[in-house]
Amino acid sequence: MRIAGISRKEVYSPNHITNDALIIIKTAEALREMGYDVTIYDEGFIETNDIQEELIFTMAQGEKGILRLKEFEDNGAVVINRPDGALNTYRIKMTNLLNNADIPFPRSIVLSKENMKEDYFKLFNAKELWLKRGDVHAEHKEDVTLIYSRAELETTLSEFERRGINEAVIQENLPGDTIKYYGVQDTGFFHWYYLNGNHNIKFDLNELKNLAFLSAEILGVDVFGGDVIISPDGTITVIDVNDWPSFAPVREEAAENIAQLIHKKALENVYQY
């Protein structure tokens, strides 16, 4: 059976170009060992070209590429992660969906031209706040920025506007340990590690895992990653969920589990018995 893999455009892999490429390559290798015929296409290629494969695994991040994958899905292809799920991890959609589902999430406000001039430092009673672009997670490191003044907020928003970024989220900065995690639905694969912090706050590992998988399920992504804050009292707050991360620290094991997930989807949706 022929399967297509879609690699991520380099612009959507700031500081992770090699790692993002390698997880797609390793997943393709695992699938080939299982007997599949795998072709990898670039995200830019599918924006303007058709592909014939009935099963597609994808790291596409740009809206144009994802919407093309949606067209393939509407015509009968099975896509992992599903295009709707990938779009749901865009910042504003993710914020709204997780808040509406009562997932512990930082206090956040979607910025628009109408509310851009508010004094958010006073509103949040904070000395620093996160400013995050509202669509894809990042193209540059400045797309997710800790800001310390109204002047810095206005300057960064002006830079966003010059780059064509018209939506953003202002978010509280939570104290505590930061944990990054990776998961693959329907396989049991889950890995976490400390990203920064003091690493001395006790927390419930089962709660972390449950929150991670539940958040991914709400957004509709099967291959996912994310970040949480462990507050000083042990409270776990989800601060980000990613559509198909690089899995860099556990690439080999992740690729095997992703391949098993794709194989399961093939049996369920493509092969007819």
**Does residue 81 have a cis bond before it (omega within 30 degrees)?**
yes
Enumerate the H helices of the chain as residue ranges: 17-33, 43-48, 63-74, 83-88, 91-100, 120-124, 150-162, 205-219, 251-269
The confidence score (pLDDT) of residue 273 equals: 35
The confidence score (pLDDT) of residue 199 equals: 86
| Distance from C-alpha of 120 to C-alpha of 80, rounded to nearest angstrom | 38
Name which of 50, 136, 47 is nearest 86 in CA terms: 136
Which residues of the chain have a pLDDT value below 70? 14-15, 113, 116, 137-141, 270-273
The confidence score (pLDDT) of residue 163 equals: 83
> Within 13 Å of residue 168, how many CA atoms lie on the same side as its CB?
28
| Residue 151 CA: distances (Å) to CA of 48, 58, 117, 119 | 41, 39, 10, 10
243 phi, psi to nearest 5 deg: -80, 110
Q: What are the pLDDT digits (tens) for 46-76?
A: 999 999 999 999 999 999 999 999 999 999 9
The domain ranges of the chain are: 2-81+249-269, 107-172, 177-243
End-to-end Cα distance, the chain: 14
Domain 107-172 superfamily per CATH: ATP-grasp fold, A domain (3.30.1490.20)
104 phi, psi to nearest 5 deg: -55, 120
Indicate the pairing of strand 2-7 with strand 37-42. parallel
Domain covering 2-81+249-269: architecture: 3-Layer(aba) Sandwich (3.40)
DSSP secondary structure of 3-22: EEEEEPPGGG-TTTHHHHHH
Written as six digits, the tokens of 74 are 């509407």
CA-atom Rg of the chain in angstroms: 19
102 phi, psi to nearest 5 deg: 65, 30
Q: What are the pLDDT digits (tens) for 94-137?
A: 999 999 999 999 999 988 767 767 889 999 999 999 999 877 76
| Residue 26 CA: distances (Å) to CA of 105, 186, 273 | 33, 19, 29
Q: What does DSSP assign to residue 117?
A: T
Indicate the pairing of strand 223-230 with strand 168-172. unpaired
The confidence score (pLDDT) of residue 272 equals: 46
The confidence score (pLDDT) of residue 134 equals: 79
Vertex 226: Cα angle to 211 and 64 (nearest 5): 120
The confidence score (pLDDT) of residue 138 equals: 58
- Which of 216-244 are b and which e, b meaning 16 or more Cβ less than 10 Å from the residue's Cβ? bebbbbbbbbbbbbbbeeebbbbbbbbbb
The confidence score (pLDDT) of residue 80 equals: 97
148 phi, psi to nearest 5 deg: -125, 0
